[in-house]
Amino acid sequence: MTYTTDMTKGSEIGHILKFALPMLAGNLFQQLYNIVDSVVVGRHLGYQALAAVGATGSITYLFYTLCIGLSAAAGILISQSFGARQYDAVKRYISNSAYVIGLFGILLSIISVAATPFLLRLMNTPESVFDNAVGYMRISCGGTIAVAAYNWISSIMRSLGDAKTPLLFLIFASIVNVVLDILFVVGLDMGVNGAAWATVASQILSAAGSIVFAFRKNPMFKLTRKTAVFNKQASFLCVKMGVPLALQNALVSVSMIYLQRTANSFGDTIMAAYTATMRVEQLIQQPFSSLSTAVSSFTGQNIGAQKKERIRICYNKSMKVSAIFSAIMLVVFLLLSPYIMTIFVKDAEVIAIGAFALKVSACFYVFLGTIHVTRGLLNGAGDVKFAFMNGVTEVVGRIGFASILVHIPAVEYMAVWGTTCLTWVLTAIMSVIRYKNGKWKDKFTHL
């Protein structure tokens, strides 16, 4: 079995689909972490416990995505160097990105656990769910270092064209997560904390297994003393490219925190409906996200090889794939949303609200797909300035639209979902404008 793929030759869409499909399977299994937590908690402990879990999601995601941004930067630098056949540079980026992300993950784990009560108070988390939310979030945030480690190793393997190995470890970890969720929450009656412990244990297993396997099997991980030593320039480039990507993720997370705060203001019924629909949306986003990651790796390698026409062809074909999936999902949600909501909760009011919200959101999936495909190309090319601009756009959109919509009597609580849809439209337009101006074509970063 080979653990690298040269994407600078052969069919553009062939590489994308061959890469994206295992990525999709991996992402779907990863989402089982959240979905299983929500189903077990919502149906076994009740909708208030589900609201407590949901209240922590956007803050926890903030800390996770800071690590994910740095990991993505390492992947971009490595894919560009691999495409340019600069294999010593690949190995230097592997070792030095590990130093940067490891330190960053440890610091974030400590800070997030300490700041949990303050952040939940800041979000106006209702007293009825506050204690459960604190316990769940502290355990989840304590596992940030495991999230950082897994995303680092998987980003690197994918940048080298290996999407299958991360999938295998995610499948294993997801199965463990399901078993532990049932054992801790139902069998041992550990409440929402049991769901958090199950997720953290699964994350640790997937990270450790992937790292050990990569260093044993992948030739690019065969480091020498020369390539393993700390390199100031390589570390600086990881940070220089990683900070804008991390800020993009952080700004998106901040905007989601504001939206969660808006949902909290409508009470625990809306919180529960919002939590369930967010879990569904996270699942639906996975095909878009997988396509984005495939486009990013493809673009990185071909930017390094200076094959820009291949990138343009890849973008056009990927946009068509995204549009087809959006149309299919629209039909699915128009027909099945009430049945989907019953997976998470039993309360009729929560089901009705969530089902309607899912139908509205599905009408805007084409814009969400446009964001993912375009962002994947721009990030893969190393256009990190746009990454920051993209984050700012999402903050302005979510805070601005939410502030307006909540004051329109006919909208009321639907402002929570309407804000997301309008933000997708705004961000998609900004992304396409950036792609069309062509500045991404000259972003290859040399070590």
Buried b (16+ CB within 10 A) or exposed e, 198-234: bbbbbbbbbbbbbbebbeeebebbeeeeebeeebeeb
Q: In this predicted structure, what is the pLDDT of residue 264?
A: 81
Confidence bin at 115 (pLDDT 50/70/90): confident
Contact 195, 184 (CB under 8 A): yes
Cα–Cα distance, 75 to 91 (Å, whole number)? 12
Whether 1 shows a pLDDT value over 60: the answer reads: no
Q: In this predicted structure, what is the pLDDT of residue 431?
A: 92
Confidence bin at 430 (pLDDT 50/70/90): very high
Q: In this predicted structure, what is the pLDDT of residue 37?
A: 66
**Tokens describing residue 100:** 């940067």
Integer CA distances (angstroms), 180 to 139, 174, 193, 283, 320, in order: 15, 10, 12, 21, 40
Buried b (16+ CB within 10 A) or exposed e, 297-332: bbbbbbbbbeebebbeebbebbbebbeebbeebbee
Whether 131 shows a pLDDT value over 80: the answer reads: yes
Q: Contacts from 320-323 at CB under 8 Å and sequence distance 24+?
A: 321/13, 321/16, 321/17, 321/291, 322/288, 322/291, 322/366, 322/369, 322/370, 322/372, 322/373, 323/366, 323/369
Cα–Cα distance, 172 to 82 (Å, whole number)? 29
CA-nearest of 330, 268, 317 to 126 is 268
Q: In this predicted structure, what is the pLDDT of residue 318?
A: 93
Average pLDDT over residues 411-439: 90
Confidence bin at 2 (pLDDT 50/70/90): low
265-284, pLDDT tens digit by residue? 888 888 888 888 888 887 88
The rounded mean pLDDT for the chain is: 84
174-209, pLDDT tens digit by residue? 888 888 888 888 888 787 888 888 888 888 888 888
Q: For the residues of 294-344, what is the DSSP string, one character each?
A: HHHHHHHHHHHTT-HHHHHHHHHHHHHHHHHHHHHHHHHHHHHHHHHHTTT
Q: In this predicted structure, what is the pLDDT of residue 423?
A: 93
Q: pTM for this structure?
A: 0.76
Residue with tokens 């030593």: 229
Confidence bin at 369 (pLDDT 50/70/90): very high
Identity of the amino acid at 365: Y
Cα–Cα distance, 390 to 115 (Å, whole number)? 27
Per-range mean pLDDT, top range of 50-59, 77-86, 286-295, 330-339: 330-339
The share of the chain scoring above pLDDT 70, in percent, equals 96
203-243, pLDDT tens digit by residue? 888 888 888 988 888 888 888 888 888 888 888 888 888 88
10-56, pLDDT tens digit by residue? 888 888 888 788 878 777 776 666 666 677 777 777 777 777 777 77
The gap between the terminal CA atoms of the chain, to the nearest Å, is 30
